[in-house]
Structures are given as structure tokens and as C-alpha cells.
């Protein structure tokens, strides 16, 4: 059976947040802005045709996106001990940029921490523990090379930018211990719903990013952030096909992506 036949009738869930001027994002990154440059009617061809187009300004870590291994360094070194200073230039990173991330098409496991606690959305300042992840993984096999997503329900708050950003009240996410638990299963990538895949205590912002260090620098595991997992959490699916194909921006430390979860169809 051809792959296209195997997926006929499958259910496709869009895991990306819509990108628009003013959407929630990290204050550390260039704000996303899309504006029409040419509108219909500005330039009408002799045959009555007209084309419109836009100008976009953005960061690589804006909207749903993938962190490249080049994104974080520790004591001046990138993953694998590469000196960060040697990898950077006006062309971006010569190594470990997002274009080196091979598109992922494979098994994905969703660890639903909201179900562990019987809530719809985790509270703002909650730090996810290894015990949370173990309980969420009950009955699920985690294989090396898999994708692992961690559900917090946080994507439900997308339309409330101040709450979603959580500068004052904090954001739920894994601490360093949970990151090590995840890294221990040797996944290809991990992902979550908030802006940074980290536990952010109230009022602290992104002062330290231990999860990024453990995953990107120490373990070579890419991170997907700002995913829209609400619908997937509600679907009950915990094992599915994930397609993750970030834009191949050469030398960038991250790139936007529109991830897809592919589930079995409803049947006839």
C-alpha cells in the first residue's frame, strides 16, 4: 500500500497557532508584523489583472516554532562542544542552524499532564515534575527517536495575550528534573504549548532557561514551542503521526513551523 493510500481518510490536526500582528510572543524576539505592500488596484495590468502581496517582519522564535541546536550555548559552547564564537557570522550559524533539522515524519507521544491533575489547564506557576511525566506516560511506550509532546492546556489561553505570556503570573512547564527525565528517553524532539518550554515562576521571565540547556546543549534534542495542542488534548489521542517541517532558513537559531498531527480516520 502506498503511503498516500495508507493515509486516506486520516484525521489531520493543525498544531500551529495563527500568526498575526499583536499575537503573544517573547519580548526578547523581534515582534511579528505582516502588512500588505501592494493591494489590488495599485497596479492593474492592461488585461485587468492585479496582484497583492505583503511585507513580513519576524523573529525565528515567533508563533509555533522549532529551536535549532544553535539557539543556546553554555559557557560559550554549543551542543557537542562546538565553540559558539566560531559558528556565528553575518550569515547566521555555519553549524547547528535550523536547516540541519531533518523534517520529522514519525511517531509522536503526547504526555498529558492536565489529565494527571484532572484539570483543563495547569496553573500559571506550576513546575512539571518527573513524577508527573511518569504518570502521564502510563501505558505509553517512549522509544528513542520519537517525538514527545507535553500537554499543559496552556494553548487554550492564546487569545488572552497577557495571560498567555505570563510575565506577572508565571507559566507552567518542566523544570530541570523533568527535562532530564525527558532527555533520558532519548527522543528526537520535544514540544509544548507555551512560549518557552520551561517552568516560569511568577515575575521571573526568562532569567534562566535550564530546560533549554539540558535538551539543546547537553542532549541535542530540538524543542518545539507555542504549539496549539488544545484540540489534540481534547481528542484523547496519545500516540499519532507527527509531521514537523520548519522553514529551512539557513543559519537561523529557530524557524516557524506548522506541525500536523495525523490520527486514524473516524471510519465509515
Contact region with its own copies (CB under 8 A), list: 118-126, 181-189, 219-227, 250-258 = 250-258
> Which residue in the set 25, 69, 73, 149 belongs to the binding site for its own copies (CB under 8 A)?
73
Q: Which residue in the block uniquely carries the three cell numbers 564564537?
A: 85
Instruction: For residue 242, count CB atoms less than 10 angstroms from its CB and return exposed for 0-12, middle for 13-18, buried for 19 or more.
Output: buried
Determine which residue in the list 209, 218, 220, 235 makes contact with its own copies, applying CB under 8 A.
209
Q: Which of 140, 142, 183, 247 binds its own copies (CB under 8 A)?
A: 247
Q: Check residue 60 for interaction with its own copies (CB under 8 A).
A: yes
Instruction: Tell me whether residue 115 or residue 249 sits nearer to its own copies (CB atom).
Output: 249
Q: How far is the CB of 156 from its own copies (least distance, A)?
A: 18
Distances (CA, A) of 257 to 112, 128, 221, 222, 242: 22, 25, 17, 13, 12
Please say which residue, 61 or 117, places its beta carbon nearer to its own copies: 61
DSSP assignment string, 108-124: EEEEEHHHHHT-SS--T
Binds its own copies by CB under 8 A, chosen from 24, 25, 59, 126: 59
Q: Which of 57, 131, 162, 168 binds its own copies (CB under 8 A)?
A: 57
Strand, helix or coil at 148? strand
156 binds its own copies per the rule CB under 8 A: no
Q: Is 76 in the site for its own copies (CB under 8 A)?
A: yes
239-244 and 11-14 beta bridge pairing: unpaired
3-state secondary structure string, 193-241? CCCCCCCECCCCCCCCCHHHHHHHHHCCCEEEECECCHHHHHHCCCEEE
Identify residues 95-154 at the interface with its own copies (CB under 8 A): 99, 102-103, 105-108
Amino acid at each position: 500500500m502506498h503511503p498516500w493510500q495508507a493515509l486516506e481518510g486520516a484525521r489531520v490536526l493543525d498544531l500551529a497557532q495563527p500568526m498575526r500582528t499583536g499575537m503573544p510572543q517573547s519580548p526578547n524576539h523581534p515582534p511579528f508584523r505582516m502588512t500588505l505592500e501592494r493591494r489590488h488596484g495599485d497596479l492593474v495590468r492592461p488585461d485587468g489583472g492585479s496582484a497583492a502581496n505583503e511585507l513580513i517582519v519576524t523573529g525565528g522564535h515567533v508563533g509555533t516554532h522549532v529551536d535549532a541546536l544553535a539557539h543556546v550555548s553554555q559557557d560559550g559552547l554549543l551542543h557537542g562542544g562546538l565553540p559558539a564564537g566560531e559558528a556565528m557570522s553575518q550569515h547566521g550559524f555555519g553549524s547547528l542552524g535550523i536547516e540541519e533539522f531533518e523534517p520529522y515524519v514519525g511517531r509522536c507521544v503526547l504526555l498529558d499532564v492536565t489529565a494527571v491533575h484532572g484539570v483543563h489547564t495547569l496553573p500559571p506557576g506550576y513546575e512539571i515534575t518527573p513524577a508527573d511525566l511518569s504518570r502521564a506516560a502510563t501505558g505509553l511506550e517512549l522509544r528513542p527517536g520519537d517525538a514527545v509532546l507535553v500537554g499543559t492546556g496552556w494553548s487554550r489561553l492564546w487569545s488572552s495575550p497577557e495571560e498567555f505570556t505570563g510575565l506577572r503570573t508565571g507559566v507552567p512547564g518542566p523544570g530541570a528534573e523533568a527535562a532530564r527525565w525527558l532527555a533520558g528517553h532519548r527522543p528526537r524532539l520535544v514540544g509544548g504549548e507555551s512560549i518557552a518550554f520551561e517552568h516560569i515562576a511568577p515575575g521571573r521571565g526568562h532569567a534562566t532557561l535550564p530546560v533549554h540547556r539540558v535538551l539543546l546543549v547537553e542532549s541535542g534534542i530540538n524543542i518545539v514551542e507555542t504549539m496549539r495542542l488544545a484540540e489534540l488534548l481534547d481528542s484523547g489521542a496519545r500516540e499519532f503521526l507527527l509531521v514537523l517541517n520548519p522553514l529551512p532558513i539557513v543559519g537561523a537559531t529557530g524557524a516557524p513551523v506548522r506541525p500536523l498531527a495525523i490520527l486514524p480516520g473516524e471510519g465509515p
